[in-house]
Amino acid sequence: MAARPSWEGHLRLSLVTCPVALWPATTEAETVRFNLINPKTNNRIKMQTVDAGTGEQLARGDLVKGFEVAKGEYVLFDKEELDGVKLESTRIVDIEKFVPRASIDRLYWDTPYHLVPSGKTGVEAFAVIREAMKQKGMVALGRLVMSTRERVCAIEIEEDGLILTTLRTPQEVRDIDEVAHPDLPKADKQMLAIAEKIIDQQSGDFDPAEFTDRYEDALRALIEEKKKGKPVKPSKPASEDDGKVVDLMEALRKSLAGGGAPKARAERFAAAKRKPIVRRGKAA
């Protein structure tokens, strides 16, 4: 299925406005998806809406939305009440502020979209906004309404356009202090020196092609075997930690010498890359 814009409207910086469109920058179209099937009939399973207390089957049109205020207690809302608090879709991304990219904690970055001019009208204004951001090296912050919800967003430079990324709210981000974790000891200088050398050895540029989803590839290979009617042999499970105490210093020395697990994993990965991956149409 051809990609379609997720949102169309205008980008505005003070009095400068230009029509733009948001296109999803990521896709799950190639992700393997399964259906629940009755193996006796080979038919898909149909989900039904059932009253949890009475067992009565209900039509979705008869249902309303409710918010749980206490265990088993809900306040109910009809469509008119919820429509009354919807934000008006102004179809405008208003740039409110410019900030250094490093000032935005990466935990706040959410969903990316390609932000491009919509049609030929306003292309010059778009180019001016983009070039000014490029010259200043700043990220723009703004707001837009998507699916009746107002989202804060960050806009930054990409090759031939702009990238707009929706940002999470503070309520959606969990601070590390909320997570139980032990106090870290001071790093041993000798161990630290070896670890730094290992990092130097394994340093390089990021290439997304090197990090394929091995589970997804294994699923596709399994699907191809099943389609051909071949019996599928179960693979051996990954070895688990045997509980032995690891000599960290010895492990670091072995890793530095190239005899540790990272090298073995790299060799297995290189071998896997040489095998062609057959990609078919996605499951419904």
Q: From first to last of the 284 residues of the chain, give the pLDDT tens digit.
A: 457 888 999 999 988 889 999 999 988 887 888 889 988 998 999 888 999 899 999 998 899 999 999 998 999 998 888 888 777 667 899 999 999 999 999 999 999 999 999 988 889 999 999 999 999 999 999 999 887 788 999 999 998 889 999 999 999 999 888 888 888 889 889 989 998 998 898 888 888 788 777 878 888 888 888 888 877 666 666 555 555 656 777 877 787 777 544 444 444 444 444 444 444 444 33
CATH of domain 7-28+87-172: 2.40.290.10
The predicted pLDDT at position 277 comes to 41
| Rounded Cα distance, 14 and 58, in Å | 51
Q: What is the pLDDT of residue 15?
A: 87
How do the domains of the chain map onto residue ranges?
7-28+87-172, 189-236+243-274
pLDDT at res. 239: 55
DSSP per-residue codes, 192-236: HHHHHHHHHHT-----GGGS--HHHHHHHHHHHHHHTTPPPPPPP
What is the reported pLDDT for 164? Answer: 97
- Nearest alpha-carbon partner for 212 in 275, 133, 149, 154: 275
Between 189-201 and 248-257, two packed helices, what is the crossing angle to 10 degrees? 30
